Amino acid sequence: MCFAVVVGLAAEARVAGRVGLRAIVVGGGPTRSLTLVERLVSEGVKGLVSFGICGGLDPALASGTLVLPRVVCGGEGQRYPVDGAWRDALAAALRGVGMEIAEGDILGLDAIVSTPQDKASLFGKTAACAVDLESHIVAEAARKAGIPFIVLRVVADPAWRGLPAAALIPLDTQGRPVLRHVLRSLLSQPRQTPHLIRLAYETQRALSVLRRGARLLAS
């Protein structure tokens, strides 16, 4: 199948590119993101993958947990089933190399969920095990086009972890941090530095797991 992966971060796109996957970085808000994904579909892509890291909602999921859901939930109660055959084949391949999988629903939202309290509230309302910023956009574009999609994500920040202010600064349209804004945030709130370092460590752990999954997705 001629498919492409949709990511939010430049680092995720690099992971995909190293194994030969076609990746598109979306950013600049949900409307622009949906436009970019729909443009990708118009170029002949026959399948989509929401790919990258995510935030944990289920407190049982540690950083580095691979998430391969059967359903994407939207912020207004939408439910988008992934392609079952494609998803199950990937799940079998992942388990075949000893990788454990969380199979709960994933929630797609337009804004970052930054506090443990908000994560707990969403988990209670939706029972989704994780949350990201792209899966609902991928799901809606696939629904409109009548093409299959799946989700391959890895938890970076677990449910009990809050995000420091510097991590909430919008990325540029290529999915990269705007360094001067990050530095300004650190200068104004220096106590967040250890939290940002811990988040960077957890993100790298998640990307390492994502690399293993990417190789099987590409095979």
Confidence label for 145 from pLDDT (cuts 50, 70 and 90):
very high
The overall average pLDDT reported for the chain is 94
Write the secondary structure of the chain as one string of H (helix), E (strand) and C (coil). Answer: CCEEEEECCHHHHHHHHHCCCCEEECCCCHHHHHHHHHHHHHCCCCEEEEEEEEEECCCCCCCCCEECCCEEEECCCCEEECCHHHHHHHHHHHHHCCCCEECCCEEECCCCCCCHHHHHHHHHHHCCCEEECCHHHHHHHHHHHCCCEEEEEEEEECCCCCCCHHHHCCCCCCCCCCHHHHHHHHHHCHHHHHHHHHHHHHHHHHHHHHHHHHHHHHC
Residue spans per domain, the chain: 3-162+206-218
The yes-or-no verdict on residue 30 having pLDDT over 90 is no
Domain made up of 3-162+206-218: CATH architecture = 3-Layer(aba) Sandwich (3.40)
- The pLDDT assigned to 20 comes to 96
The residue-averaged pLDDT of 123-140 equals: 96
The yes-or-no verdict on residue 1 having pLDDT over 80 is no
The yes-or-no verdict on residue 28 having pLDDT over 80 is no
Tens digit of pLDDT for each residue in 80-128? Answer: 999 999 999 999 999 999 999 999 999 999 999 999 999 999 999 999 9
